[in-house]
Amino acid sequence: MNISLPPVFDVIYLDAVDSVTAELQRRAAEGAEEGTLIWAGEQTQGKGQHGPWVSPPGGLYCAVLLRPDFAKAHWPEIGPVALLALGTAVAELLPPMTGLDFAWPNDVLVNGYKVGGISLQQAAPDGLIITAQLNVAPPVEAWEYASLLADGAAETTPGEALERYARYLLDNLQRWHDEGIASIYRSMRARGMPGIERDGSLAEPSQFTPLSDFFAEVTQ
């Protein structure tokens, strides 16, 4: 595949795989380096954070490996970091005035319907996997969710979406490292995420599922 990603990513493209997450977990166990990125044309057993993800050809399915040097207690914060990256990529690919929203803490919506999402999983022995899945073309007939093509994006491809997402993911990880999670929340607020104050704090924390609960798997 002819795409251009930041050199920190080592891209491995597969026409089909059971799950990009499972494939990367296997490779991580065999010693894959940080930055390894699995990208598949389709998944036969695609998975989101808490359920399956229908993954026929025409979508973006990718997973990247981190080997964090920070405490596991902070690993769930990478969820919003990746979500902001995916949402920013989607916003650039859609025409102006198209409704784009975030659904806390891991989904991107277009015109009120889910178009993509991120998930976090552990990888033995010390890795964190960020998985991103995005409906570029409508996955199946009568699909109840959104897709980039059906909702107005002009001739985009999974590869173009991956290029944008990977670039923003890298930028957001650096910003999170330097400035903390509040800087990510401020950007989500600027893109319409309700319930976030100007300083990046959560206005009513009880209305937000705690990241440590939603992404509990990665802190165990």
Strand partners, 131: 63, 119
- Arithmetic mean of pLDDT, 18-38: 96
Domains, in order of start, for the chain: 10-219 (3.30.930.10)
Query: What span, in angstroms and rounded, lies between the C-alpha atoms of 25 and 194?
Result: 34
User: What's the CA gap between 134 and 7, in Å, rounded?
Assistant: 23
> Measured between alpha carbons, how far is 60 from 13 in angstroms, rounded to an integer?
11
Decide: 216 and 79 in contact? Cβ < 8 Å: no
Do residues 220 and 122 make contact, with C-beta atoms less than 8 angstroms apart?
yes
**What's the burial of 32, exposed, middle or buried (CB within 10 Å: 0-12/13-18/19+)?**
buried
User: Which residue bears the tokens 């440590």?
Assistant: 212
| Structure token pair of residue 202 | 């959560």
Whether the predicted pLDDT of 183 surpasses 90: yes
Q: Where are the beta strands (DSSP E) in the chain?
A: 10-14, 36-40, 60-66, 100-103, 107-110, 113-123, 127-134
pLDDT of amino acid 99: 83
For 59-106, how does the pLDDT look when each residue is reduced to its tens digit (9 = 90+)?
999 999 999 999 999 999 999 999 999 999 999 998 887 888 999 999
Q: How far apart are CA 38 and CA 33, in angstroms?
A: 12
Query: For residue 164, what are the CA distances in angstroms to 4, 57, 148, 171?
Result: 10, 19, 14, 11
Buried b (16+ CB within 10 A) or exposed e, 43-79: beebbbbeeebebeebbbbbbbbbeeeeeeeebbbbb
Lowest pLDDT segment from 89-98, 132-141, 145-154, 160-169: 145-154
* Range name among 95-99, 125-129, 150-154, 198-202 with the lowest pLDDT average: 150-154
